[in-house]
Homo-oligomer: A and B are copies of this chain.
Amino acid sequence: MRILVVNCNTSEETTRAIERSATAAALPGTEIVMAAPTWGVESAEGYYESFISAAAVLDVLTMRADDADAVVLAGYGEHGREGARQLLDIPVVDITEASADIASLIGHRFGVVTTLSSTLAGIGDSLLTSGDSGRCAGIRAADVPVLALHDDVESTARLLVADARALIEAGADVIVLGCAGMAGLDRALEALIPVPVIDPVSAAVGMAELLVRMGKSTSKAGPFAPPSRTKLRPGWPLTNAVVAAA
């Protein structure tokens, strides 16, 4: 099967990092296809950038999702999830939701360690609307710049330990990495703390594969029924040609 994994920002480096996580997690027969917006934000570090990235990601999906069997949205805590589910006929798995599901199967309460405190409120909203906040013991930010993370996993893990421990103290017995794209960081952090650590991209790729294997896709009988594409109007330039042809 083919899974389209969509980075929410325009950083090539982030796309490559996500790809490494996704590829490592995929089943043998699964083809991971990466995509990223051609416009939008280089890094989604708060509400404003998240909303811009949501539209940019939806733009990518309009153009790129046709030959995929499932989509993984690889922006942790970012907006757009429900829009993608409405747009596409194939399953759409958000790494925020998938990692909460996986974490809840192996722990009593999960904690989220993310990079920037400017993203905490948006992550909270995402877990609230996905119905996953009841099992969440807390969300903390190490305030490490996203773009500074792509060095080596051991040193990055060390930057996250203090917040992970604070979450364990607050009741978490599993940690979710609240950011996409750092293959092996889960293992590196597990070496430093006594609880399992979930890489959200791996969780989402696995759940996307599972949905495809189960033959289940987004319900079109409720709020995810297709939008009326013809209402898109000239002026959203990049998508426009594609939409006209759809």
- Of residues 59 to 112 in A, which have CB atoms within 8 Å of B's CB atoms? 79-80, 82-87, 91-93, 97-98, 101-102, 104-109
What residues of chain B lie closer than 8 Å to A231, measured between beta carbons? 41-43, 45, 49
Task: Assess whether A122 is in contact with B82, with CB atoms less than 8 Å apart.
Answer: yes
A211-B83 contact in complex given A42-B231, A233-B39, C-beta closer than 8 Å: no
Closest residue on chain B to residue A231 by CB atoms: B42
Distance between A196 CB and nearest chain B CB, rounded to angstroms: 5
CB pair B219–A106 under 8 Å, yes or no, is yes
Question: Is A155 interfacial (CB 8 A cutoff)?
Answer: no
- Among candidates B54, B92, B102, B235, residue contacting A40 with C-beta atoms closer than 8 Å: B235
**Known contacts A49-B231, A228-B45, A236-B40; A223/B58 CB under 8 A:** no
A161 on the B face (CB < 8 A): no
Which residues A193-226 have CB closer than 8 A to chain B?
Answer: 194-196, 198, 202-203, 206-207, 209-211, 213-214, 216-225
* 27 A–B contacts, CB within 8 A, in A order: A25-B213, A39-B234, A40-B236, A45-B228, A47-B83, A48-B58, A48-B87, A49-B231, A51-B58, A51-B80, A52-B55, A52-B83, A79-B79, A85-B106, A91-B106, A106-B218, A108-B121, A108-B223, A118-B225, A125-B129, A130-B135, A131-B131, A173-B221, A173-B222, A195-B219, A198-B216, A237-B237
With A10-B235, A48-B87, A202-B214 given, name 15 new contacts (CB 8 A).
A38-B235, A39-B233, A40-B232, A45-B231, A50-B83, A51-B54, A91-B106, A105-B211, A108-B224, A125-B129, A128-B128, A131-B131, A168-B221, A194-B220, A237-B238
